[in-house]
Amino acid sequence: MRLLPGIDLRQRWASHFKNWVGVCSYGLIDDPGSRISALMSGLETEQNPVIFYDAMIHAFRQYIGGMIYNQSDLHGNVFDSILHASRACTAAMYRGEELPLEQVRDLVLPYSGSILEVGSKGAAESYCAFIDLRVQNFGLKLPEILWDNKIDDESLVIVGVASGGLESALLAMDVIGMDRLIALGYDRNNSKVVAPGDGCLSQVNGMHVLVVDDVVQTGATLSAIMSELYEYNPSSITTVSIFDKIDLPLPQGRNLKLLRSNPFVFSYVQSN
């Protein structure tokens, strides 16, 4: 376990936020193909660590989105490289350390063609990788959450809900010291969980599962994802919602039990 330092992140990175339009500019590109192309160009040339981080997290989210919604397998050199690069950037940003720009470039740029191809199929969401104190709060309290729920990090699987939960899931990987991540999506049009490829969910069999999402409002997405995971016989399922937009009480049939707030933590209650 690598405990997160409780530093003032806004002060640490303040000098790099002067060009605010530059920091958020990737979120202004609506076309997925044009956006992923701009992101990869930014990763190749950008020196501002905050803008570089914004580009890296954008690219990761869009690449994972393309993989999930095209039912592709999340494995292989490309996935491993962009996952490790994104985790390294997230760890450095939230620990107040210098971002390993050249290391990240060495990991990601050799696979630019594949990332461009897959990322162009992901949704171009409006998103800015602002240094969010609620994500930091999650990282600071994660060891306590695991302890309270009697979760052994040696038998833990992290599930990041695409795409809003991926940044926090990367931070969880760093704090816990893990290099594995399962990414899941939720197709609201068809009300179903979307997993990349075949067999990825078999990894949760007998394991403690930590599901990380950005926001829970009605609980529909989270309940569906936890119900899907339960079919693969995990030892337990605990979920954390980073943001505080939840509507309480949750509707009947959500199978979720609220354990704590700040951040919101739920357990899954199996239906009779």
Q: What are phi and psi of 208, to 5 degrees?
A: -80, 130
Does a structural domain hold residue 169?
yes
pLDDT at position 36 over 70:
yes
> Please, are residues 208 and 152 in contact by the beta-carbon 8 Å criterion?
yes
| Best-predicted range by mean pLDDT (10-19, 227-236, 245-254) | 227-236
- pTM summary value: 0.91
- Which of 78, 96, 119 is at the close of a domain? 119
pLDDT at position 199 over 70:
no
Say whether both 169 and 66 belong to one domain: no
The helix or strand, by DSSP H or E, that contains position 213, with its residue range, turns out to be: strand 208-215
- Which of 97, 119, 141 is at the close of a domain? 119
Q: What is the mean pLDDT of residues 1-16?
A: 90
Say whether both 89 and 147 belong to one domain: no
pLDDT at position 244 over 70:
no
Does a structural domain hold residue 124?
no
Say whether both 161 and 42 belong to one domain: no
Structure confidence at residue 160 (pLDDT): 94
pLDDT at position 23 over 50:
no
Nearest to 95 by CA among 205, 231, 2, 201: 2
Structure confidence at residue 22 (pLDDT): 46
pLDDT at position 143 over 90:
yes
pLDDT at position 239 over 70:
yes
- Supply the range of the domain harboring residue 221: 133-268
Structure confidence at residue 162 (pLDDT): 87
Say whether both 115 and 137 belong to one domain: no
Sign of CA dihedral 174, 81, 232, 225: positive
The number of distinct structural domains making up the chain is 2
Q: What is the pLDDT of residues 158-191, one digit of tens each?
A: 999 988 899 999 999 999 999 989 999 888 788 8
What's the rounded Cα separation, in Å, for the pair 142 and 147?
9
Structure confidence at residue 133 (pLDDT): 85
